[in-house]
C-alpha cells in the first residue's frame, strides 16, 4: 500500500520517493504494448512529427529516438487517458493535493543510447508544489542508465550550478522495476547515465502542479 503522507515526507525531505509496484499489472501490460506501437511508428513506419525527438548517431545510420513529447496527443489511447484521469491524478492529488498535469512525455533509452545531462526540471518554484511522476515500463538499473539524483538538492537556491552540485554529491542511483512509479520534486538535481548495453529502458513521465484555484474555499460551506 502507498501511504501518501510518507511519500510527501520523503519528497519534502530528500526530494524523491519510489512507489514500488504502484501500477496494476494489466495496466502496465497495456501501456507497454502501446509504448511498443508508438516507438515502432518512428522506427518502422517513419513517423517524424516534431513531438518525436531523436538524435543522429554516426555509428547507427538511423536516427535514435529518445523522447516522445506531448504524449497525450499521440495515437495511444490508454497512455493518453492517464493525462485526463486515473492513477497519476490520484497519486498527485494524494501527495500534493488538488493539482493538474502540466507536461507529459515518454523517455526511451535503447541499448547504447546516451544518458540525460544533469539538470533541474524547474528551479524556482515553491516547496512540494510541482512534482514529476515517472512510470517505469521496463527494469531500470545502473547498467541501462537509471535515474541518478543528489538527495536534498531540491532545497538549493534556483541559481545553483547543477554540475557543481553533482560533483559535490552524494550521487544516488534510483533503480526501478516495471510498474514502479518514482516521484520527485521538480527542483531535484538529477540526470542519468548511458545505456551501456542493457535492455531498452522506457518511462512515461508526467509533471503535476498543485493548483491553488482548485482548493476548496474555506468559506464554501457557510
Of the candidates 63, 59, 39, 69, which has an alpha carbon nearest to the alpha carbon of residue 197?
A: 59
Of all residues in this chain, which one has the CB nearest to Ni ion in the complex? Answer: 121
Of the candidates 206, 221, 217, 201, which has an alpha carbon nearest to the alpha carbon of residue 89?
A: 206
Q: How far is the CB of 213 from Ni ion (least distance, A)?
A: 26
Q: How far is the CB of 118 from Ni ion (least distance, A)?
A: 9
Place of cell 497512455: 79
Distances (CA, A) of 109 to 97, 127, 178, 193: 32, 30, 15, 10
Q: Which range in 9-17, 39-47, 117-125, 141-149 contacts Ni ion by CB under 5 A?
A: 117-125
Q: What does the alpha-carbon distance between residue 78 and residue 221 come to, in Å, rounded to a whole number?
A: 37
Residue placing its CB nearer to Ni ion in the complex, 15 or 178: 15
Element (H, E) at 39: helix 25-43
Q: How far is the CB of 181 from Ni ion (least distance, A)?
A: 15
Residue placing its CB nearer to Ni ion in the complex, 178 or 191: 191
Q: Which range in 53-61, 119-127, 139-147, 158-166 contacts Ni ion by CB under 5 A?
A: 119-127
Residue placing its CB nearer to Ni ion in the complex, 11 or 41: 11
190 neighbors 184 (Cβ within 8 angstroms) = yes
Query: Residue 216 burial (CB < 10 Å; 0-12/13-18/19+)?
Result: exposed
Pick the binder of Ni ion from 10, 29, 121, 142 (CB under 5 A).
121
Residue placing its CB nearer to Ni ion in the complex, 41 or 176: 176
Residue placing its CB nearer to Ni ion in the complex, 110 or 149: 149
Q: Which range in 16-24, 31-39, 113-121, 123-131 contacts Ni ion by CB under 5 A?
A: 113-121
Binding site for Ni ion (CB under 5 A): 121
Amino acid at each position: 500500500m502507498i501511504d501518501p503522507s510518507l511519500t510527501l515526507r520523503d519528497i519534502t525531505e530528500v526530494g524523491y520517493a519510489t512507489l514500488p509496484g504502484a501500477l496494476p499489472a494489466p495496466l502496465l501490460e497495456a501501456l507497454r504494448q502501446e509504448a511498443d506501437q508508438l516507438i515502432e511508428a518512428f522506427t518502422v513506419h517513419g513517423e517524424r512529427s516534431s513531438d518525436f525527438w531523436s538524435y543522429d548517431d554516426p555509428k547507427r545510420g538511423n536516427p535514435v529516438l529518445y523522447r516522445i513529447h506531448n504524449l497525450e496527443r499521440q495515437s495511444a489511447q490508454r497512455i493518453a487517458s492517464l493525462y485526463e484521469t486515473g492513477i497519476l491524478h490520484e497519486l498527485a492529488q494524494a501527495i500534493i493535493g488538488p493539482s493538474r498535469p502540466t507536461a507529459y512525455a515518454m523517455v526511451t533509452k535503447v541499448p547504447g543510447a546516451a544518458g540525460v545531462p544533469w539538470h533541474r526540471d524547474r528551479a524556482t518554484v515553491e516547496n512540494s508544489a510541482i512534482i514529476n511522476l515517472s512510470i517505469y515500463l521496463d527494469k531500470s538499473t545502473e547498467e541501462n542508465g537509471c535515474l541518478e539524483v543528489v538527495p536534498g538538492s531540491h532545497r538549493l537556491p534556483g541559481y545553483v550550478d547543477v554540475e557543481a552540485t553533482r560533483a559535490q554529491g552524494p550521487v544516488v542511483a534510483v533503480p526501478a522495476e516495471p510498474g514502479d512509479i518514482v516521484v520527485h520534486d521538480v527542483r531535484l538535481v538529477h540526470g542519468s547515465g548511458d545505456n551501456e548495453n542493457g535492455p531498452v529502458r522506457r518511462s512515461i513521465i508526467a509533471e503535476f502542479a498543485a493548483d491553488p484555484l482548485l482548493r476548496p474555499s474555506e468559506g464554501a460551506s457557510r
